[in-house]
Structure 1
Amino acid sequence: MKPLFRLLTELSSRKTISRLTGAFAKSKASKALIPRFAKTYGIRVEDAEKHISEYASLNEFFTRRLKSGLRPVDTAQSTVVSPVDALITGMGRIESGQILNVKGQDYTIEELLNRSPRMVSYEHGFYLVLYLSPTDYHRIHSPVTGDILEKEHVPGKVYPVNDFGLRHMPRVLSRNERLITYMQHESGEVAVVKVAAMNVSSIQYVDPLPNHLERGDELAYFEFGSTVVLLLETNTFECRSDLAVGSKVRMGEALGKLRPKA
């Protein structure tokens, strides 16, 4: 059955289908689906910034902000915080430019960063793969305090980035459409790689997007579920010892500490 699932996924990974799905999700007709969607995925509607009846479309509800104070941002000095609510599906040291064994598949920094000259800074760094399910809050925040150095949009497919997609579709993280943000922080750089997924109509930056962001400030948002890959430069990050693949994190929660670049 797996080859059949892969074939069906290949056929449904075209941007046209995602655009159609996205167009419906943004339409007024989709508003009627919000209560069922929230119930199906166990979304805490009481956490939303507005009452569920105030959202004009499914997309508007999906990209909702939360009530103030629900995602406190860790304020300890030099902390790197989670940019999203997510499940950690991969993490570890980058070995000679290789991200190893994300659900049984290996990736290269060269592919993931679309052969950017900046890739040399991450060849022996640290990575975290953060998967957002439909249940999760889908706004993306800055993991550090710093300045935006560069932004890149990488066109691509929209394969699913859930467990099936990561295990059975070839290198989805580096084949899917991506929006990459490089930021300068006190110890070097961080790359925030936002990966599109099936039925994601787009990844949007907040508007206006300031050049300087404090830790926890809004950076972007997904229109339907997807993944963020966080890359930390070589010798600049020490991850929390209690985090592991399968850990659930919330936006603003400490992932680890920056350390001076060697």
Structure 2
Amino acid sequence: MKLHNLRDRLLQQEDLNFLLTNRVPRIALTRFMGWFSQIRQPLVRDASIAVWRLFTELDLSEARKPRFDSLHDCFTRELKPGARPFDPDPEVLASPCDGIVGACGEVAGLQVWQAKGFPYRLEDLFGDPARAEAFRDGCYVTLRLTSAMYHRFHAPHDARLQHVTHLTGDTWNVNPIALKRVERLFCRNERAALHLRLERGGHPLALVPVAAILVASLRLHALDLLLHGRYPGPHELPCDAPVDKGQELGWFQHGSTIIVFAPKGFRLVEGVATGLRVRAGQPLMHLPEDPLPAGDQGVGSTS
């Protein structure tokens, strides 16, 4: 307990936290962790998980497997069946992942906030003004996954995954301390924009997984690819994959942030606010009462 208290006091020192997690060779450390975490050696695995427990509240009681092949295997663990039930209400968009709610609310035109005083624009995040336009004056929620959380993410509703854009970039930490200091951080980091079309009402939806230091790889079931900083392309990846609400879409190699974007007419479920801890499957947004007009069924631009 004393060690955890010391850890918490150190991590609460913002200058020290920012220095230790950002003023370092971020990309090199991330690549090293990608290699180190996959070492399949029992002593390395056990020592790594033990050190991990010193710095996080790691709970493996819900893990499907009792033992892991490597640190990476533990990071990307599956859960026991039924551990994350998804709200069955067809009028509710569920959280795609476990996380802590960061900035959230209404999109102001095409501008959103990563933290107070630090705006960014959707066209910069998506890398495509036409795709961003679908979410003008819409609704968004930022979900930050801590390192100890469950790192897989799921379909928030019955939908079709229609397009993925991979954008290379940096690996700044995405914790609240960095978000208050680094302008347009989400637009600087490596990320992917997943564009979906809801079966109910035909509404567009976007999930944007954002990488962070030590966390810069993404695996999607719909694409037989591992997206990462050295992925050679192509970076525009059209697809047509139907997904059911709660179906697993993929996973971070370690964990980071997912930003959920919905168009105008969606609204946050009561109680969803900065600082709230949510689990995959919990209600996140209410769908609009009216379906999308037939002429607005495109994903925002051509594939």
Compute the TM-score of the two structures, normalised by the length of structure 2: 0.79
Q: What residue is the counterpart of 1:219 in the other structure?
A: 249
* Aligned pair partner of 1:22 in 5, 28, 34: 34
Residue 142 (structure 2) pairs with residue 129 (structure 1) = yes
- Aligned CA distance change for structure 1 residues 72 and 57 (closer, same or farther; 3 Å): same
Q: Distance in 2 between matches of 1:101 and 1:47?
A: 31
SS in 2 for 1:74: coil
Contact kept? 2:106, 2:138, Cα under 8 Å:
yes
How far the C-alpha of 1:115 sits from its partner, in A, is: 2.2
Question: For residue 170 of structure 2, what is the aligned residue in structure 1?
Answer: 157
CA drift of 1:160 comes to 0.3
1:198 maps to a residue whose letter is: I
Distance 1:2 1:183, change over 3 A: same
Matched, 1:31 2:42: no
Deviation (angstroms), 1:251? 0.2
Task: Select the structure of larger CA radius of gyration.
Answer: 2
For structure 1, list consecutive stretches of 5 or more residues without a partner in the other structure: none
One-letter amino acid of the structure 1 residue matched with residue 209 of structure 2: K
Q: Under a length normalisation based on structure 1, what TM-score does the superposition of the two structures give?
A: 0.91
Separation in 2, partners of 1:34, 1:176: 27
Secondary structure of 1:50 counterpart: coil
**Residue matched to 1:206:** 221
Mapping of residues 51-130 of structure 1, within 5 Å = 51=66, 54-100=67-113, 102-130=115-143
Deviation of 1:5 (Å):
4.5
RMSD: 2.2
Classify 1:165/1:211 alpha carbon distance in 2 versus 1 (closer, same or farther; 3 Å).
Answer: same
What SS does structure 2 have at the residue aligned with 1:184? strand
Amino acid at match of 1:125: G
Letter in 1 for 2:36: F
* Contact kept in structure 2, 1:149 and 1:182, CA below 8 Å: yes
Work out the number of aligned pairs and report it.
258
AA of the residue aligned to 2:263: E
Contact kept in structure 2, 1:87 and 1:248, CA below 8 Å: yes
Q: Give the residue type in structure 2 aligned to 1:31.
A: R
Contact 1:89 1:103 in 2 (8 A): no
The CA deviation at 1:39 is: 5.5
Superposition deviation, residue 101 in structure 1: 5.7
Q: Report what 1:257 is aligned to.
A: 286
Aligned equivalents of 1:160 and 1:142: distance in 2?
A: 25
Q: Distance in 2 between matches of 1:164 and 1:238?
A: 27
